[in-house]
């Protein structure tokens, strides 16, 4: 993998991962990139320094801008296979050019005191490798969801961070989002009565041919799976944080049109149910071939609470219905990304366990695997 | 069963059914009731005459008033175990007192030329008996959903009407409701693209102790089952009319708190999935212990269509979402009950097979039984 190629398109970037991920893991540091002057925008040097690993659309459009609202976190390094893109973003975010890394020289980040936390925003198939490399480099790790492609990889990530004495947090942004937090609080204090059922639906239309940056989502090696790993996990995680319980049984049905080239390696639509110890039944859907949906509804015996959208980036909407009708509580929007990043920073600064540690990611991946097993066998799977 | 008791409360009415249904089937006609003057409001004698069997809340509040909007149907007889209630309603609807029947003398309706159609609005456990008695009396039958407590009973009902050369229609009102018809039409003409999934949720809070008229809903013998038979069937039927397909496989999960006296005999919450030949997966929920929900959403690859409420009596609401956003099509509300009643009358007048014949009811009951089997065994059930 050449870090000096100027023709590396996003597509090549991804193909390189798919084909050379193993090779890059043993590659040593390469020449530091370019030297244009830094335009540092963060003067609060007490903020923890984050290295962003992977500068895709999500990182650029959602997460990186959120640092501007952080109290305890700032971007101090960038890790990318696209030097031009990295340099451009470094200028925008005031990152010194010496703090730009490639995937080859990433391990040398261990010598950079400006980096406290490594935030991994790569396709899931690369999470284990980069988390372990970051931990070995003595850095705390914030890693995007889904945590990894397998339970074994999740365990290795947890072990690597434990061994290094570093924090590991999985970036479950919805657990830092005000409408979701408000929903959890209302359920907890009994506003819906006794919780009885949940429905949660997540869907999107993936278009890898129209949008090459989406290509990894339909590659098993990089994505770990299809819609379930990518977006169904929002439904799954929501059922757990809304109930405050761990499910005991899962079932699942899958449909993927195998004549559609998108679904040669990964699943399209998967519907799954979760049974919780209290008796709550959750019915979730996940699909890659429908228009966007990101919603859930929690039904108590006294009222129901709907978030639609529930897990968007902004502009959430809550409705509560009971025997007297419907109402839309006023809830203040907040930057879930900034809250999440600040939480990670606080956990490092105050030596606390993150709200969504590696174990939280592992729980979901165990359930994801159980859901895949249920879909494959047609049987209820105890978990 | 005494038709002259003035103390027969709704609760007694129900208890009598549960306890004496078999006995009443062989009882002969009794003395005709009261003689206060008729206040006939319908002057169009060309309308077909309907006998309403069972004068509960649904009949009184929803269905009977709809006759006022019918072109081809009018109420000409009432069948009830409550003579006082029947007399009151007879006056209100201009039914001659001689056309009031009890459950004992119901069979003598065969001699009444004013009755063309018998509309059975009794608890499901009584549908087979009264359909067969009506067919034997030479009357066409409109019967409420769910059709009956068993596949065998459905078959007997179909056979009885066939043998008598009479029409049998199951009152699937949603299939006559403008928003539902509009949704079906939009899906059929491809407005959503290729249909991929459906979610449908129906719930209500049954309160048999607070509302004695609800007591039959939690009695297996009268209701045939719990929420699935009563309201889950709206989700079930909707998946069939929205896809225009018959499912090939079902799965189900049930939760019923057996310490709750309501759920000693029938199920509370049951979630089920249906797999259709085209690949559409439908996820449905049904519950007796949540606040009212009557909604579905159909997801195509180009757009989704939401009805919430979908299967209410009035005030439906449609939203269509696609990549460009959401919109609420303007659709004219219409009286689904009047449309349904007129359709039944037209089928008789024009010797047509109803849109929702006995076979339609039978298909749902077969599926209901498969769903119960799937819930019991935890296995996928081929249908």
The verdict on A253 touching B (C-beta cutoff 8 Å) is yes
Q: How far is A294 from chain B (nearest CA, A)?
A: 12
For residues B55 and B59, give the distance between their C-alpha atoms in angstroms, rounded to a whole number: 5
What tens digit of pLDDT does each residue of A211-266 get?
Answer: 898 899 999 999 999 999 999 999 999 999 999 999 999 999 999 999 999 999 99
C-beta separation of B143 from B123 below 8 A: no
The pLDDT-based confidence of B145 (bands split at 50, 70, 90) is: very high
Which residues on A lie below 8 Å from B323 (Cβ)? 205, 291-292
Residue B232 has pLDDT above 70, yes or no: yes
Same fold, B10-171 and B175-334: no
Residue A267 exposed, middle or buried by CB count within 10 Å (0-12, 13-18, 19+): buried
What tens digit of pLDDT does each residue of B81-130 get?
Answer: 999 999 999 999 999 999 999 999 999 999 999 999 999 999 999 999 99
Average the pLDDT over each of A1-5, A146-150, A346-350, B363-367 and give the range with the smallest value.
A1-5
CATH of domain B10-171: 3.40.50.720
3 state DSSP class of A50:
strand
C-beta separation of A174 from A336 below 8 A: yes
Half-sphere exposure of A76 (CA within 13 A, CB side): 19
What radius of gyration do chain B's Cα atoms show?
21
DSSP B325-357: EEE--------HHHHHHHHHHHHHHTT---SSB
pLDDT of residue A135: 98
Which residues on A lie below 8 Å from B281 (Cβ)? 253, 255, 269, 271, 285
Q: How far is A138 from chain B (nearest CA, A)?
A: 44
Strands A48-53 and A281-287: unpaired
Instruction: List the catalytic residue out of A101, A119, A172, A234.
Output: A234
**What are the boundaries of each domain within chain B?**
10-171, 175-334
Alpha carbon dihedral B206, B207, B211, B215, in 10-degree steps, equals 70
Domain A175-334 -> CATH class:
alpha beta
The pLDDT-based confidence of A287 (bands split at 50, 70, 90) is: very high
Q: Is B280 left (phi over 0), alpha (psi -120 to 50) or beta?
A: beta
pLDDT of residue A248: 98
Q: Is the N-terminal amide bond of A362 cis, ω within 30° of 0?
A: no
Active-site residue, A42 included: no
Active-site residue, B234 included: yes
What tens digit of pLDDT does each residue of A127-143 get?
Answer: 999 999 999 999 999 99
The answer to whether the CB atoms of A283 and B283 lie below 8 A apart is: yes
What tens digit of pLDDT does each residue of A171-217 get?
Answer: 999 999 999 999 999 999 999 999 999 999 999 999 999 989 889 99
DSSP B58-69: HIIIIIHHHGGG
Report in angstroms the alpha-carbon separations of A50 from A7, A70, A111, A306, A352. Answer: 27, 12, 14, 35, 18
The pLDDT-based confidence of A44 (bands split at 50, 70, 90) is: low
The residue among B144, B122, B147, B176 whose CA lies nearest residue B340 is: B176
């Amino acid at each position: 993998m050449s870090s000096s190629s100027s023709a590396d398109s996003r597509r090549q970037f991804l193909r390189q991962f798919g084909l050379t991920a193993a090779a890059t893991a043993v590659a040593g540091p390469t020449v530091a990139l370019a030297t244009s002057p830094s335009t540092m925008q963060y003067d609060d040097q007490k903020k923890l320094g984050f290295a962003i690993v992977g500068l895709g659309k999500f990182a650029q459009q959602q997460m990186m801008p959120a640092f501007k609202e952080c109290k305890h976190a700032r971007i101090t390094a960038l890790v990318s296979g696209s030097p031009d893109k990295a340099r451009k973003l470094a200028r925008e975010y005031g990152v010194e050019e010496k703090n730009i890394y490639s995937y080859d020289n990433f391990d040398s980040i261990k010598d950079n005191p400006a980096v406290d936390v490594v935030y991994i925003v790569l396709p899931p198939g690369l999470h284990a490798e980069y988390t372990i490399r970051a931990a070995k480099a003595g850095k705390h790790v914030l890693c995007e969801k889904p945590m990894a492609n397998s339970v074994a990889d999740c365990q290795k990530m947890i072990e690597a961070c434990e061994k290094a004495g570093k924090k590991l947090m999985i970036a479950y942004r919805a657990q830092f989002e005000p409408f979701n937090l408000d929903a959890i609080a209302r359920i907890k204090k009994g506003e819906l009565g006794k919780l009885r059922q949940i429905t949660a639906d997540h869907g999107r239309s993936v278009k890898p041919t129209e949008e090459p940056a989406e290509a990894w989502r339909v590659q098993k090696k990089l994505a770990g799976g299809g819609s379930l790993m990518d977006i169904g996990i929002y439904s799954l995680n929501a059922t757990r944080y809304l109930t405050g319980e761990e499910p005991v049984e899962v079932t699942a049905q899958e449909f993927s049109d195998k004549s559609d080239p998108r679904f040669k390696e990964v699943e399209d639509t998967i519907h799954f149910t979760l049974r919780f110890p209290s008796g709550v039944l959750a019915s979730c859907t996940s699909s890659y071939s429908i228009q966007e949906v990101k919603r859930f509804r929690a039904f108590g015996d006294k009222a129901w609470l709907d978030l639609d959208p529930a897990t968007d980036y902004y502009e959430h909407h809550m409705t509560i219905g009971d025997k007297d009708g419907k109402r839309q509580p006023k809830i203040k929007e907040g930057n879930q990304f900034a809250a999440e990043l600040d939480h990670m920073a606080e956990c490092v600064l105050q030596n606390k366990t993150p709200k969504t540690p590696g174990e939280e990611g592992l729980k979901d991946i165990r359930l994801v695997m159980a859901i895949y097993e249920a879909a494959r066998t047609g049987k209820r799977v105890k978990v």
